[in-house]
Amino acid sequence: MAAPVLRRGCRGRLWALACVDGGSCHGRGAPTGSPSNRIRGQSSVAQQPLHTAQKPRKGEHNWAAVVGLEIHAQISSNSKLFSGSQVRFSAPPNSLVSFFDASLPGTLPVLNRRCVEAAVMTGLALNCHINKKSLFDRKHYFYADLPAGYQITQQRLPIAVNGSLTYGVSAGKERGQVIPKTVRVKQIQLEQDSGKSLHDDLRSQTLIDLNRAGVGLLEVVLEPDLSCGEEAATAVRELQLILQTLGTSQANMAEGQLRVDANISVHHPGEPLGVRTEVKNLNSIRFLAKAIDYEIQRQINELENGGEILNETRSFHEKLGCTVSMRDKEAKQDYRFMPEPNLPPLLLYDATSLPIGADPRQVIDIDQIRETLPELPSVTRERLVQQYGMLPEHSFTLLNEVGLLEFFQNVIKETRAEPKKVTSWVLNIFLGYLKQENLAVSESPVTPSALAELLDLLDSRTISSSAAKQVFEELWKREGKTPGQIVSEKQLELMQDRGALEQFCYSVMDVKKGNPRAINKLIGLVRKATLNRADPAVIKEILEKQLSS
């Protein structure tokens, strides 16, 4: 998974015309431990020499970008929002379609309790005010994969409002520092997903798959508090983590469980906001950052050239790395919103308002859901920093990879080694191997127990750290051997026999003599001669003693 570990912050929110730092906003998420200086020229902005031909005019150097996001997260539930059909990715087409999903006349929506609970839970985790009364509306448009001709959503009174999402951007100056930033959450609304249209241009026909039609979505609307692609990407990544931690959405972007639309405009600071465009259907975090930065730069260039920005819908062309106008009529469509008459207002309760003797199956208690909230990623990270003394940046990395935190904690549980040592091994060696082979934590050939045993050997000075790396490499080969077995088979133990080691040193002394700065080379030779089984400190001590004698 190529999810970004941490992104470097934008330099403020000002986009200087002549020096948009594409590189700083577009560093791909490299595994921690790899060099932190990023390769420039990766971003679409840098690839497109849009700003080079411009002559900055006085007083127009600085642009500020304003970015707001609408994020659709598919709710992780067994059945759809208003019907009993199963929710499953990649099932045979039209195999998960109830009469309601197909909009057969006379069918009625029945609200799925699980979806409501997921929305409340997500709202609480995003510090939202949960509306005790929310309403459903119909949003009308004709589209082949929208069989009812309308989508049921919450336009007027959504289930949760006025929240906030805190995310961290790395500061750039001091290593490991992370600056917290906050974006306001305008609202969270429950709504239906549409089906899928598969266009067959060759035979000029469209195939419709309704498996997705009616799946519950959480639409999370973020206020336009973001100022660049990186901030947006980091905020979305944090939201993704929160949803996954809550279990309210699997939030897998590749499977379309998390989809982002971005509203983007640019203006001069202190002046009114510019006309905005909407870039739709961004389906990876990397493309999200790229698309936003491209669009910001495009708008700046357009305006600098005396052009104007149209209020339009655009899509991101992944191969070309640019946004293109969708030129669809849909953007200007009047959705003719209307209250959904078949669903009574959605009423939620808390401990104080819960009706006495209410059937717990018929009511949803916000306080009860609050109690079941798991530890949120921000809290987990803080705990990691406190408990194990790791850098904030490392805590981010541990949470960013699915399963990595659990792996780390399992190693910690089983080893005597210092947490710092464990952190370093898990983030540098283990994660590095995973990345190299593009494996998920769950696919790792090395179990937490094996790594714990290995670190124990290292901790008890049974093996040297370079021998430990060799053992790790052996473990990665999935031959089913324990670290202990590998160590003894390969004779990797540190040599405990000082007499034998002295013999080695003498023999080396025969080869080299005199130069005190040659000692490092000598150490190397000794280590080589001992197949890395000698403790370098001991070798050095012996050599020094010999040299001085």
Partner 1 sequence: MLGRTLREVSAALKQGQITPTELCQKCLSLIKKTKFLNAYITVSEEVALKQAEESEKRYKNGQPLGDLDGIPIAVKDNFSTSGIETTCASNMLKGYVPPYNATVVQKLLDQGALLMGKTNLDEFAMGSGSTDGVFGPVKNPWSYSKQYREKRKQNPHSKSGDSDWLITGGSSGGSAAAVSAFTCYAALGSDTGGSTRNPAAHCGLVGFKPSYGLVSRHGLIPLVNSMDVPGILTRCVDDAAMVLGVLAGHDPKDSTTVHDPINKPLVLSSLADVSKLCIGIPKEYLVPELSSEIQSLWSRAADLFESEGAKVIEVSLPHTSYSIVCYHVLCTSEVASNMARFDGLQYGHRCDIDVSTEAMYAATRREGFNDVVRGRILSGNFFLLKENYENYFVKAQKVRRLIANDFVNAFNSGVDVLLTPTTLSEAVPYLEFIKEDNRTRSAQDDIFTQPVNMAGLPAVSIPVALSNQGLPIGLQFIGRAFYDQQLLTVAKWFEKQVQFPVIQLQELMDDCSAILENEKLASVSLKQ
- Footprint on this chain of partner 1 (rule: CB under 8 A): 99, 102-111, 138, 140, 142, 144, 147-150, 206, 208, 334-338, 341-344, 362
CB of 259 to partner 1, least distance (A): 23
Q: Quick one: 330 or 541, whose CB is closer to partner 1?
A: 330
181: amino acid identity, one letter: K
Q: What is the DSSP string of 166-208?
A: EEEEE-SSSTT-EEEEEEEEEEEEEEE---EEEEETTTTEEEE
Q: How far apart are CA 82 and CA 108, in angstroms?
A: 8
CA distance 90 to 141: 26
Residue 325: CB minimum distance to partner 1, A? 20
Minimum separation from the CB atom of position 368 to partner 1 (A) = 21
Q: How far is the CB of 69 from partner 1 (least distance, A)?
A: 24
Exposed e or buried b for every residue in 66-76, given b needs 16+ CB within 10 A? bbbbbbbbbbb
As measured in angstroms, the least distance from the Cβ of 77 to partner 1 is 18
CA distances from 233 to 29, 67, 83, 340 (A): 11, 11, 33, 34
Question: To which H or E segment does residue 45 belong?
Answer: helix 44-47
Q: Where are the beta strands (DSSP E) in 127-159?
A: 129-130, 133-134, 137-140, 150-153
Nearer to partner 1, 140 or 512 (CB): 140
Helix, strand, coil shares of the chain as percentages rounded to 5?
35, 20, 45
Residue 236 C-beta: closest distance to partner 1, Å: 30
DSSP string, 247-288: TS----GGGTSEEEEEEEEEE-TTS-----EEEEEE-SHHHH
User: What is the rounded distance in angstroms from the CA atom of residue 450 to the CA atom of residue 446?
Assistant: 6
Pick 241 or 346: Cβ nearer partner 1 = 346
Pair type for strands 160-170 and 322-325: unpaired
**In the complex, minimum distance from the CB of residue 330 to partner 1, in angstroms, rounded to a whole number:** 12
Contacts of 421 (CB under 8 A, 6+ apart): 455, 458, 459
Nearer to partner 1, 30 or 343 (CB): 343
Nearer to partner 1, 206 or 305 (CB): 206
Q: Which is nearer to partner 1, 153 or 464 (CB)?
A: 153
Query: What's the Cα-to-Cα distance from 466 to each of 32, 66, 437, 469, rounded to whole Å?
Result: 20, 50, 21, 5
Min dist CB 348 to partner 1, Å, is 16
- Which CB, 137 or 474, lies closer to partner 1? 137
Closest to partner 1 by CB, 173 or 361? 361
Tell me the residue length of the chain: 549
Sign of the CA dihedral running 441, 39, 175, 126: negative
Q: Which two tokens stand for residue 481?
A: 């051997």
Please, which residue, 94 or 546, has the CB nearer to partner 1? 94
Q: Which is nearer to partner 1, 345 or 403 (CB)?
A: 345
Q: Closest separation between CB of residue 79 and partner 1, Å?
A: 13
Tell me how crowded residue 283 is: count the other CB atoms within 10 A of its CB. 16
Residues 266 and 273: beta-carbon distance below 8 Å: no
Quote the least distance from Cβ 100 to partner 1, whole Å. Answer: 9
